[in-house]
Structure 1
């Protein structure tokens, strides 16, 4: 392998990785930033980082886990940036001033997946990220611990606390809207 080749990922390989992991990375990043355009930008940055630093991947974890770690770190960096904080405050004011809702928004709000997502977004990020990785991305506790740079016992604790927090928000949300509460086994248990 030539010196220059080892620093650039093959275009075909990059396309395959993007096809295989793009959607799941987008969902994961959205769970942090709560904005599709921003999530798409961060996922694009994740793939750029992958293409530039793929040679640093040692195989200690799966490629999926390594990409998730890059995406999570970029998401957290975005959330910490001062630019993001001002943007978020302005968007919140804009949303509060708008009382008009279109029919698609009203229909979407009545779906079970919307209620689940709404309740997930009400809990702290440290619990939401663990629940998301465990239930939606089907990652093992060991992989989540690696991704978040925390111990496996900490992951289990966050899962337990996150389930309880989610369940309390879910029950409250469902009761306020006069809907039937799903069985406990269906509520992230």
Structure 2
């Protein structure tokens, strides 16, 4: 029982003395802007306590050196994990060129003009389905028709728009 109390007192002293040192090293290595730095410090302290309780600290070096080694290894592990996750992120798509932007605007304008030429029942179905994002069932309920009829009208409306776009080219 006396030995267990001594270990607890020593552990408390170690935490009190080395937490600021560990915190400084972690923040210096990964930055204070990284939200995980506090978790890393706590993991390091938990690891130190666990290794001391498992008698892995044999006293061949100072306790400071022992803690420094654990800290450095945890920081390296964190940086490796972050660099792996960064390399797995896909490259962002490049910004469209001015020509691509212009072509897209022109196509949008042509589609808008083609839709304007449709009969109102076909225009309305496209508006509800694509622009308001309603499901086929919701469009059917709103217009008082079957969802099969909605599907048919959407398909036919798109066919008419495509036909109009082909005649423009």
Q: TM-score, normalised by structure 2?
A: 0.42
Instruction: Pick the structure with greater CA Rg.
Output: 2
Q: TM-score, normalised by structure 1?
A: 0.38
